[in-house]
Amino acid sequence: METSKPWLKDYPPGIPEGIDPGRYHSVNQLFETASRKYRDLPAFTNMGQTITYGELDQLCNGFAAFLLSLPGMARGERVAIMLPNLLQYPVAIFGILRAGLVVVSVNPLYTERELEHQLKDSGARAILVLENFAAKVEKVMRATELRHVIVTQIGDMLDMPKRLLANIAVRHVKKMVPSWYIRDAVPFRQALSAGQQMRRSYPEANAADIAFLQYTGGTTGVSKGVMLTHANVVANVLQCSAWIGKTLREREEVVLTPLPLYHVFSLVANCLTFMPLGGLNVLITNPKDLPAFVKTMQAYPWTVMTGVNTLYNALANTPGFDRACARKAKLAIGAGAAMLRPVMEHWTSLTGVPMIEGYGLSEATAGVCINPLGKPRLGSVGIPLPSTDVQIRRDDDSLCAPGEDGEIVVRGPQVMKGYWKRPKETAEVLSADGWLKTGDIGTMDENGWVTITDRKKDMIIVSGFNVYPAEIEAVVATHPGVLEAAAIGIADAHSGEAVKLFVVPRDPRLTAADLLAHCGSNLTRYKIPKQIEFRSELPKTPIGKILRRALRETAAR
């Protein structure tokens, strides 16, 4: 089924209809080209330490060589990264890819259950983990295929004496490192040093090779690995670069990176897209520490920021923020969750910086639609990126009329290869001619502007992170005092949405505190219910399926 492209007439001057996906044959080539061109320019900064493109290139060489020296680390093996935003992160990403291996991004806040699933499912053979989370790896690794563990301390990329002071503070003053023991675990700095002494030739990455296994929630409660090839990632970087290229300039841009690099939006929009520009990424390790974040904003002449609704709202209400708005600031990009009009208007009134909303999903690498930088339209996620087709379809696969609700389907070079080891689930969402069923509900007007009306129906988006009710319900169901459970999303002023749990107890003595403790042991913090309501029964269809829609309608009254 072909599509017209009415949105092209609203493209800003100079934006191409399509990109050349063959400009780089791999993420490696994109990175290496930037490293040569901008060798002496700063690439990443964090905690007061900056590394140049050239220094990053050398560090990646060392990490890649070390990985390839490990037993069993053949081309295509998976390597997990379990870190917050630290300088170690880009070293790991580009080192893993240079070695011909696959990056598996892991949320450091995962519970042991979540971590074990992702490591087992991906078959990761090695992991780089911050020592703060090494105890979790220790507890699950016997159930996985992990054979090599590299452990880093928070200050490992800092110069002395700051490195020593940071590591002592985290370990002994703040006591943020639970006790752990992993036999033959290798310190990160030792791995880099060993690798830099080795002479290695690296395998050439092909466009069709998997670069990232990006895990996303599943409607069955089991997260799935999205296979993103080098070609997928390069295409999305080029699409984003084409869109911002007339506004942003080479060698001048400083982008604030508060969203974690394990989030595909941050990975593509910040870490990768600013490389062809020779931009500087300012990595924010803990964006929840708003006073420290504002101080960092004051210290750097930032030009671009990416974030989610809750972060922009929190920053705008933090003392000192008015002094953190750099004179050179050009734009702020919001995605990951619906941007709220009051937040966008408040931000722009305070900063004078336009807020640009976009739309994407892991299965399409990151970006699908975005607003024009000069004339954003509040309430819309914009128009499709170059080389991207978007349609709105009814349940029978016919095209919706302008303004009619339907499922958003996408086709373009950024669409995933499929789900890792899940051909059946891949076939359910990805057609033979390349159309991806997003599961998101929206409308398109006669000019091609897209508006999201429902995010995957049952899916809950908490501070930009996808939360699937089935996963919450599966965890809650393991509590012996629970007979039935259902989870929905409710509006939340802080996080956009929050989880509300409905429970039919098996044990009348069951309390909300019992369930919160159970969830806290098995779910990442943002997935934990904010509200719990006990009921004698749950609404169901004639065949016994719980009607979450009815629960949402009740909660909205």
CB atoms near residue 387 (< 10 Å): 20
pLDDT at 217: 66
Q: How far is CA 423 from the centre of its chain?
A: 23
Residue 217 forms part of a structural domain: no
Burial class (CB in 10 A: 0-12, 13-18, 19+), 480: exposed
- With contact defined as beta carbons under 8 Å apart, do 492 and 481 qualify? no
State whether 45 and 9 are in the same domain: no
State whether 144 and 37 are in the same domain: yes
State whether 263 and 353 are in the same domain: yes
State whether 59 and 80 are in the same domain: yes
Q: Which of 161, 189, 205 is the last residue of a domain?
A: 205
Which range, of 107-116, 249-258, 313-322, 338-347, averages the lowest pLDDT? Answer: 338-347
State whether 373 and 507 are in the same domain: no
- Between CA 380 and CA 337 the distance in angstroms is 12
Quickly state the pLDDT bin for 553 (edges 50, 70, 90): confident
- With contact defined as beta carbons under 8 Å apart, do 403 and 337 qualify? no
Q: What is the mean pLDDT of residues 90-109?
A: 97
Bridge partners (DSSP) of residue 423 are: none
Decide the pairing of beta strands 304-307 and 280-283: unpaired
Angle, helices 341-351 vs 309-316, to 10°: value is 40
Q: What is the dihedral of CA 184, 189, 194, 195, to 10 degrees?
A: 110
Q: Closest Cα partner for 532 from 545, 517, 547?
A: 517
State whether 293 and 348 are in the same domain: yes
State whether 450 and 343 are in the same domain: yes
Residue 224 forms part of a structural domain: no
pLDDT digits (tens, 9 = 90+) for 117-136: 999 999 999 999 999 999 99
- Between CA 210 and CA 188 the distance in angstroms is 25
Is residue 342 over pLDDT 90? Answer: no
Residue 183 forms part of a structural domain: yes
CATH code of the domain covering residue 256: 3.40.50.12780
Q: Which of 435, 454, 473 is the last residue of a domain?
A: 454
Quickly state the pLDDT bin for 219 (edges 50, 70, 90): very low
Residue 159 DSSP one-character state: P
Which amino acid, 406? G
Quickly state the pLDDT bin for 242 (edges 50, 70, 90): very high
E strands, 3-145, are 42-46, 49-52, 78-82, 102-105, 126-130
**For residue 174, is it left (φ>0), alpha (ψ between -120 and 50) or beta?**
alpha
The overall average pLDDT reported for the chain is 92
State whether 135 and 96 are in the same domain: yes
Is residue 326 over pLDDT 70? Answer: no
Which range, of 262-271, 333-342, 371-380, 481-490, averages the lowest pLDDT? Answer: 333-342
State whether 370 and 439 are in the same domain: yes
Residue 210 forms part of a structural domain: no
- Between CA 357 and CA 267 the distance in angstroms is 17
Q: What is the dihedral of CA 384, 390, 392, 395, to 10 degrees?
A: -150
- Between CA 359 and CA 383 the distance in angstroms is 9
Q: Closest Cα partner for 362 from 497, 462, 212?
A: 212
- Between CA 238 and CA 272 the distance in angstroms is 10
pLDDT digits (tens, 9 = 90+) for 295-317: 999 999 899 999 987 788 888 88
- Between CA 19 and CA 166 the distance in angstroms is 44
Quickly state the pLDDT bin for 379 (edges 50, 70, 90): confident
Angle, helices 53-69 vs 188-196, to 10°: value is 90
Q: How far is CA 185 from the centre of its chain?
A: 27
Q: Closest Cα partner for 447 from 368, 390, 520?
A: 390
State whether 105 and 149 are in the same domain: yes
Structure tokens at 408: 């958003």
Structural domain span for residue 548: 460-556
Q: What is the mean pLDDT of residues 238-250?
A: 94
Q: What is the mean pLDDT of residues 3-14?
A: 91
Residue in this structure with the two tokens 């059946």, named with its chain if needed: 424
Give the CA angle between residues 168, 170, 171 to the nearest 5°: 65
- With contact defined as beta carbons under 8 Å apart, do 232 and 365 qualify? yes
Quickly state the pLDDT bin for 332 (edges 50, 70, 90): very high
Q: Which of 439, 454, 469 is the last residue of a domain?
A: 454
CA–CA distances in Å: residue 351 to residues 290, 310, 323, 420, 494: 17, 17, 10, 43, 21
State whether 386 and 335 are in the same domain: yes
Residue 212 forms part of a structural domain: no
CB atoms near residue 392 (< 10 Å): 21
CATH code of the domain covering residue 83: 3.40.50.980
- With contact defined as beta carbons under 8 Å apart, do 72 and 147 qualify? yes
State whether 51 and 148 are in the same domain: yes
- Between CA 18 and CA 15 the distance in angstroms is 9
pLDDT digits (tens, 9 = 90+) for 440-476: 888 999 999 999 886 666 889 899 888 888 789 889 9
Residue 247 forms part of a structural domain: yes
Number of domains observed in the structure of the chain:
3
Residue 216 forms part of a structural domain: no
Is residue 220 over pLDDT 60? Answer: no
pLDDT digits (tens, 9 = 90+) for 193-204: 999 999 888 999
Non-local CB neighbours of 473 within 8 Å, separated by 6+ positions:
221, 485, 486, 487
Q: Closest Cα partner for 81 from 108, 62, 46?
A: 108
Residue 64 forms part of a structural domain: yes
CATH code of the domain covering residue 527: 3.30.300.30
pLDDT at 218: 45
